[in-house]
Amino acid sequence: MLRRERRRREPQERSRRRGWEISIEGVAVSGVTLFILGLSFLYVLQTTALRSLTAEISQAEERLVSVEEINRTLSFEIEQSFSLERVSRIARERLGMVEPSVVRYVPLSSGD
């Protein structure tokens, strides 16, 4: 009778041990799976952020080129606005100024 009880107990103990081992393995596999899924999620998130930032950089570079062109145009206009020819033309046209007339002086010699 003692042998029968031992035989009954041994399979139950083995199944308990196996159940424990399976659950540890299951937890380990689940943990590894969750870790891999987490890394995959982070990869997708970082890739999306990188693409977004790359698009922003591209737009900023396009705006920079446009602003530099406007800056060159305005610099040229500023240089032209201070030219003597332009100032003289505006003085004649808008302000009614005229070129000074040339007065020639003839020295008189003294007859002494």
pTM: 0.49
- pLDDT one-digit tens code per residue, 25-48: 888 899 999 999 999 999 999 999
Q: In this structure, are residues 80 and 86 in contact, taking their beta carbons and an 8 Å threshold?
A: yes
- pLDDT one-digit tens code per residue, 50-88: 999 999 999 999 999 999 999 999 999 998 888 888 888
CA angle 8, 10, 16 (to 5 degrees): 110
Q: Where are the domains of the chain?
A: 2-93
